Structure 1
Amino acid sequence: MCSYCGDFPDTRDHVPSRILLDEPFPENLPVVPCCDKCNQGFSLDEEYFACAIECIIQGTTEIEFLNRQKIKSILSKKENLKKRIESSFVVENENKYFKIDLPRFENAITKLAKGHLKFENSEPQFENPTSIAFKSIFDMDENEEEAFFTPTVFDKAPEVGSRGLQNLLIGHNQEILSHWTIVQEGTYQYMVSVSSGVEIVRILIWNYLAIEVIWRNQ
């Protein structure tokens, strides 16, 4: 079953997409079953998402000033994408801002979160999230940052046979805690928390973009 739509899985999908990682890639990258339609359908939004983040971090689309080789390579070959991102930078009152394509950002983020839920909890999530929030970690105050990184407490054990159950983190008071999984140090990490009525996925990309995706079951 495809982890994103429930159709027949023609292939497997890396979670996270390798466009968000640096080479050499880590061994044993998380993979989930996926259909060709979803695999192809997300790829352009993921490409925009990754390239936009790098350009936001560096404040430019000029290739020589970018840091990540994969992004430099993509924008060197795709002039239309480069122009689209460049046109999203606006200057107001001598301050430079970036106007993101929100639906494309949210589509890429939802795909990541659904993939992590499937990989960690075995059960797929086909509904749209209740909420998607993201911001630069450098724009967080101390309380926001602490809340983002602090493990949450499960009120029930993860699904039997799931990776989440095999990798339980037990607190000092014997409570079951969520934990951060580091896919690539300094590049990508995530945390999945599943409790009665709520599923939460938090992601940190390039030590810059902090993401929280929540599903609340009615």
Structure 2
Amino acid sequence: MIVSQEALERAIADALKLSKKRNFKESVDITVVLKDINLKGPEGRIREVVELPHPPNKEVKICVVADGDMALKAQRMGLRVITKDELQQIDKKKAKKIAKECDWVLVKVDLMGLVGRILGPALGPRGKAPVPVPPNAPLEAIVRKYQKSVNLRVRKQPQVMCRIGTEDMDVKQLAENAQAVISALERKLPNPQNQIAKVIVKTTMGPPVLVTEG
């Protein structure tokens, strides 16, 4: 299946039109349903971070696990910081709360082992793999990247679901974000034209709308 920009724009416009007004800002989500893939084979183990062209008009919560200069830099940027000492005090309940609250967890590379042991069991089921960051890496640039990135992951079903923006964004921008997700999937699939079965868009609480050509 090949999906055009025009088809995406039509479907997203319909999804926004069909969505009832809520007392919160709804996300706009995309679901790409796949076919003829072996979930246990390489094409079924899709784990991909996609940087969207347009950031969502919604706060993306980034947590930084670090100490030293990286921790200070993250604090100055207003990010939530978990130091090594704080990390070692985290129990299972607190780990689940952090996994729920943080969209991305950036980790100073030498703390990855600790994070994997303490936060990993809570982050893994949510598809929020911690991101290793070298101590001298440009933290501001990395944070900007992840503020407009989404995680593509095939789980138990042959499909990928993610947010492409928010209901107050321009339809064209949402469609370009959706196209970025589809293009990333196409690069991972051996035969994308035949393996993408259908594409669906919807708002958080709204009805699903099938993307169709013509």
- TM-score relative to the length of structure 2: 0.24
- TM-score relative to the length of structure 1: 0.24
Higher relative contact order (CA 8 A, sep 6+): 2
